[in-house]
A = this chain, B = another copy of it.
Amino acid sequence: MSDDDSAVARERVIESMEQSAEVYGLSRSAGRIYGVLYFASDPLSIPELVDETGYAKSTVSNVTRTLSRVGLIHRRSSTGGGRRVRFEAEREVWFILQDVFQQYIQREVQTTLRTIRRAEEQVPEDAREQEPIQNLRETYEDLEEIVQLASEYSAAELREALETYEQ
């Protein structure tokens, strides 16, 4: 029966999202809730998400908050200013990856670079520590530039930039 096939396929993809969520530093429940919203044809409320996922109301409440903060889903304050809140998935996966990129990698690279630079200023000229710190700084400067540029391109542009390089 084709309905079954659809359901199975959908479940497979959602399970895959659960796993991906862990890689991105989120919980499995976050992956599942995002997945359910990704396949939903309309925005869902918290009770509906409770039905679909089997998680407790409190869990759904907390997870939707973090997912909204990170930009994976969007809060649609219900029409009429009512209390009922609905959530919609951000379906442009590339946007999500860019966000994660910026919020995690870029921040990480920048703070690391700042620390390295301060350390490099502090270390005496002839110290044994000077060279390794300098090497570290140079790599991270490359990295900062790469991450900066990469975050500005779309997936297709990025792909093309890499494919056409080295003529």
**What is A's interface to B at a CB cutoff of 8 Å?**
2, 5-6, 8-10, 12-13, 15-16, 19-20, 23, 38-39, 41, 91, 93-94, 97, 104-105, 108, 111-112, 115-116, 118-120, 122-124, 127-129, 132-133, 135-136, 139-140, 142-143, 145-146, 149-150, 153, 155-166
Contacts and interface: CB of A to CB of B under 8 A. Distances in A.
Contacts of A140: 93
> Which of A115, A157, A159, A162 has the most B CB atoms < 10 Å from its CB?
A162
A15 B156 CA distance: 37
Instruction: Give this chain's copy count.
Output: 2
A2 B127 contact: yes
B122 A150 contact: no
Contacts of A150: 162
A27 to B, nearest CB: 15
A161 B70 CA distance: 29
Contacts of A10: 119, 123, 129
